[in-house]
Amino acid sequence: GQNIDQPTEMTATEGAIVQINCTYQTSGFNGLFWYQQHAGEAPTFLSYNVLDGLEEKGRFSSFLSRSKGYSYLLLKELQMKDSASYLCAVKDSNYQLIWGAGTKLIIKP
Amino acid sequence: GAVVSQHPSWVICKSGTSVKIECRSLDFQATTMFWYRQFPKQSLMLMATSNEGSKATYEQGVEKDKFLINHASLTLSTLTVTSAHPEDSSFYICSASRGLAGSNEQFFGPGTRLTVL
């Protein structure tokens, strides 16, 4: 079956750096997405990786290793507004988006 | 660009009534629209995928006669929850995509919170 694993919850301190990992096992691969979702709101797009390596976008970076079925989202200079759930999603060979359960990130002052 | 709207943003209805939720892509043509349901503290659950002009593809376990999806145009899809019951209370989110290509992200609407009394 298809599976995406990410930690359920993480806690970090304001101003610090946090890495949220995601491992996947899917039938085919057509890219990996990271989304941010604040409580009670819809997800918003953060990043897309289809080739191995690191994609940097401001305070957020996303890394992909296709051979390892692994990605991480790196958040730098954490701010209180970064408290949210972070969803990892993979497009499989049918271009269907398979969602992880999300990682709830709690930022403490 | 790539804005998706949903209407209504919240709705309260009596058990047994039907509720229609609209999803519109405001500034692009959405070849594919998706309907999700999300219960508190849980992840998104895909209910169905719809392409303009064709029947929706429902995920396993989702009753197509209860959750009617119509994708009449490239900018509008509707989800009707028929004979709603309290267990249908949830956060319903639509998303739209320009196409199937790997890089085509899904743009999400703001969601509709349904409460069935």
- CA A36 to chain B, closest CA, distance in angstroms equals 11
Contacts of B95 in chain A (CB under 8 A): 42
What pLDDT does residue B101 have?
64
pLDDT at A73: 98
For chain A, the average pLDDT equals 94
pLDDT band at A4; cut points 50, 70, 90: very high
Tokens representing residue A105 in the block: 């990130």
**B77-87 per-position pLDDT tens digit:** 999 999 999 99
Contacts of residue A50 in chain B, CB cutoff 8 Å?
102-103
**With contacts defined as CB-CB under 8 Å, which chain B residues touch A87?**
43-44
Report d(CA B97, CA B71) in Å as an integer: 13
Q: Which residues does chain B have within 8 Å of residue A7's beta carbon, measured at their own beta carbons? A: none
Contacts 24+ apart (CB under 8 A), A57-62: A60/A34, A62/A32, A62/A34
pLDDT of residue A80: 97
Tell me what pLDDT residue B2 has: 82
Q: How far is Cα A62 from Cα A12, in angstroms, rounded to an integer? A: 18
* pLDDT at position B7: 96
Planar angle of CA B32, B33, B36, nearest 5 degrees:
145
The mean pLDDT of B29-46, rounded to a whole number, is: 88
Closest to A52 in 3D by CA, of A37, A70, A36:
A70
Convert the pLDDT of each residue in A16-34 to its tens digit: 999 999 999 999 999 999 9
Could you tell me how many helices (H) and strands (E) chain A has, helices first? 0, 11
Q: Choosing among A9, A30, A87, A98, which should be mutated to test the B contact, i.e. which has the most B CBs within 10 A?
A: A30
Contact between A45 and B49 using a beta-carbon 8 Å cutoff: no
The letter for the amino acid at A3 is: N
Tokens 């509720």 correspond to B19
Report DSSP letters for B47-99, one per residue.
EEEEETTSPPEEPTT--TTTEEEEEEETTEEEEEE-S--GGG-EEEEEEEES-
Asked if the model's pLDDT at residue A8 lies above 70, the reply is yes
Paired tokens of B14: 């009596």
Q: What is the mean pLDDT of residues A2-12?
A: 95
Q: Is A86 exposed, middle or buried (0-12, 13-18, 19+ CB in 10 A)?
A: buried
A contacts of B44 (beta carbons < 8 Å): 43, 87, 99
Hey, are the CB atoms on A33 and B43 less than 8 Å from each other? no
For residue A56, pLDDT over 70 is answered with: yes
Choose the weakest-confidence range: A44-48, B28-32, B34-38.
B28-32
Question: Is pLDDT of A61 > 70?
Answer: yes
Query: For residue A2, what pLDDT is reported?
Result: 84
> Per-residue pLDDT for B51 more than 90?
no
Q: With an 8 Å Cβ cutoff, are B108 and A44 in contact?
A: yes
The answer to whether residues B97 and B24 touch, using CB atoms and an 8 Å cutoff, is: no
In this predicted model, which residue has the larger pLDDT, B68 or B72?
B68
Q: How far is A85 from chain B (nearest CA, A)?
A: 9
Whether pLDDT at A96 is above 90: no
